[in-house]
Amino acid sequence: GAVVSQHPSRVICKSGTSVKIECRSLDFQATTMFWYRQFPKQSLMLMATSNEGSKATYEQGVEKDKFLINHASLTLSTLTVTSAHPEDSSFYICSVPGWYNEQFFGPGTRLTVL
Amino acid sequence: DQQVKQNSPSLSVQEGRISILNCDYTNSMFDYFLWYKKYPAEGPTFLISISSIKDKNEDGRFTVFLNKSAKHLSLHIVPSQPGDSAVYFCAANLNYGGATNKLIFGTGTLLAVQP
């Protein structure tokens, strides 16, 4: 399957700052990438679908002005958490769709907002 | 509204025995089901999938069974190995038409395989 990387793997920031997370598809060109969030002991929740060359599609309840997504190329999507607050602390994971309906996930980014 | 449910938060099995992980869903529009394995602080790893038009798919030690009438699927791992210890997520694919689809995940089951 596709190899997906994320950077950074973990980040700690102060409340009010912005944090950028990168998701790269290393061996597969992806016109679509997905961003998920997982709170402790909970399921993965889809936040948004990143589309190369057009605007991201956000799930209900996800603030598009807070979670900025840019699909810069066929191998790179970025998620910027703007004005982060402690409640944004979570595990953020991106994925790339496979040939069928599977998705291949990156290793995730642990965000801690102090 | 949890469309994909894994009612067992945890399961403990002896090495060499069969592990059976269960998943129930409510939306009859799901057309594909997948199982993922996840270790703490890592992304999920794809294990096996099944189309809604089939009732069984097998890959090595992993077999997924689908019962559409009951809206139930299960993952069988046999024989279970200590390295199988992880959280297992069931996911269902919802196709909105064209190239638009998304995965809905269950809450996960923590499998512990005892040596």
Residue B97 confidence class, pLDDT cut points 50, 70, 90 = low
Q: Tell me how crowded residue B31 is: count the other CB atoms within 10 A of its CB.
A: 14
pLDDT digits (tens, 9 = 90+) for B8-46: 999 999 999 999 999 999 999 999 999 999 998 889 999
Residue B2: helix, strand or coil by DSSP? coil
- A104 Cβ under 8 Å from any chain B Cβ: yes
- One-letter amino acid for residue A63 of the chain: E
Residue B21 pairs in a beta bridge with B75
Are the C-beta atoms of residues A19 and A8 closer than 8 Å to each other? no
Distance CA A46, CA A39 (A): 12
Cβ within 8 Å, pair B46-A91: no
Cβ within 8 Å, pair A44-B105: yes
Sign of CA dihedral A27, A30, A35, A40: negative
- pLDDT for the residue numbered B41: 83
- B62 Cβ under 8 Å from any chain A Cβ: no
pLDDT digits (tens, 9 = 90+) for A39-97: 888 889 999 999 888 899 999 999 999 999 999 899 999 999 999 999 999 999 999 99
* DSSP code for B3: S
